[in-house]
Amino acid sequence: MEVLQRRERLAGKSRVQEKTVVWISLWENLVKAGFYFTQKTRPGVLDLPLSPGMKTLFAEAKPVGKLIPLILDIKDETSLPDFITLINHKKNLT
């Protein structure tokens, strides 16, 4: 994991081989995890067993360039199932 320090937070990314799986930043009261997908992989993400709020957030997300962001604010353990599901899905994309 590569780590960068910025003012009041730490940020970094987790990679598998040459593929970035997730961008992570540590804030005072939460952890932000950013996943980025393409139009081609969007339907697969919407088919995952994610919380309804996460699916709505992703379905309504606007592309940033060619990528569609999905940002999780992890404040407690309730977000961890979505986080783990997205990591496993992203690792298996080709």
pLDDT at residue 35 in the model:
95
Element of type H or E holding 53: helix 52-59
Q: How far, in Å, are 8, 9, 10, 46 from residue 70 at the CA level?
A: 23, 20, 19, 11
pTM, entire model: 0.81
Strands (E), 1-94: 2-6, 9-16, 19-26, 31-37, 68-74
The predicted-structure confidence for 64-91, as pLDDT tens digits, reads as follows: 999 999 999 999 999 999 999 999 999 8
User: What's the pLDDT tens digit per position in 12-50?
Assistant: 666 667 778 899 998 888 999 999 999 999 999 999 999
Q: In what order do the strands lie in the sheet with 31-37?
A: 2-6, 9-16, 19-26, 31-37, 68-74
Please, which pLDDT band fits residue 56 given cuts at 50, 70 and 90? very high
The residue ranges of every structural domain in the chain are 2-92
